[in-house]
Amino acid sequence: MKHGYLIDMDGVLYRGSELIPGADQFIRELRVRDIPFMFLTNNSQRTRRDVVAKLARMGIEVEDEHVFTCAMATARFLAAQKPNGTAFVIGEGGLLTALHQNGYAVVDHDPDYVVVGEGRTFNLEMVEAAVRMIVAGAKLVATNPDPSCPTQNGSVRPGCGAMVAMLETATGVKAFSVGKPSPVMMRAARKELGLTTAETTMIGDTMETDILGGVQLGFRTVLVLSGGTRQEDLKNYAYRPDLVVSSLAEFADMLEQSDWNRPWAAAATRPNSPRKTVASRA
């Protein structure tokens, strides 16, 4: 059966600027075996070309079409909702580029949408302008709901969700979020790979985004513990991933010992697999 992967990045491929051991080999194996895959990121700051360049520095060679950002998902969604519209943007290059590529003009008055992504340009002047526009009728859209983002030094900074929360509180308007775990982004990425729901596996390190989105859409889900989630955290969630592994290296070892082309038949025999029914879906 054909299958492919949607793969989160930070915490799965790398932490900060450090490659997680085995991640590069896993991606090489996917390419050698011609298994379709796409990286999904809730970081709207970078263009897909920027992401490809960052991965290349870490030894992961991919093309632009292997990257799908929440900025791209947001711009495509808006273009489908209101072609050739206008947006006031709180965000950086990746979001601005995606909007322009999808026919949107970035304006500073009377926009159709106020669009918020990650960035360090966030200030009260922009907040005040955005509030006025939203009160006047502009629709509020967030590239993703993440309240914080990891930094290069291992700490965190406010994310898109935190920025949007200020606008929501000030205006009483709830933002529409496009990035993971929204089905808008995850379904669009799956379709771009040419896969059906049953053929798609989501690999991520975060229960609230990667795994939740995958579960809600009916994808297979693999949680890696190389990022922000620990094994003991699983008891706090009403939903479970299909498989829990320490890293992509362990997942690759499991597939190497069984069959890369039938990963879920292999998972069904794994002693600590969260679900024993995975074989029935293979």
Which candidate in 8, 24, 205, 210 is catalytic? 8
Angle at 67 between CA 66 and CA 71, to 5 degrees: 155
Tokens 């895959």 — which residue?
37
Q: Token digits for 57?
A: 């520095």
On whether the CB atoms of residues 234 and 205 are closer than 8 A, the answer is no
Instruction: Say whether 24 is catalytic.
Output: no
Q: How far apart are CA 160 and CA 44, in angstroms?
A: 9
Distances (CA, A) of 204 to 39, 91, 220, 221, 245: 10, 24, 11, 8, 10
Short-list 109, 123, 115, CA closest to 91: 115
- What is the SS3 assignment for 249? helix
Check if 64 is active-site. Answer: no
Considering 10, 24, 112, 210, which one is annotated as catalytic? 10
Q: Which residues are catalytic?
A: 8, 10
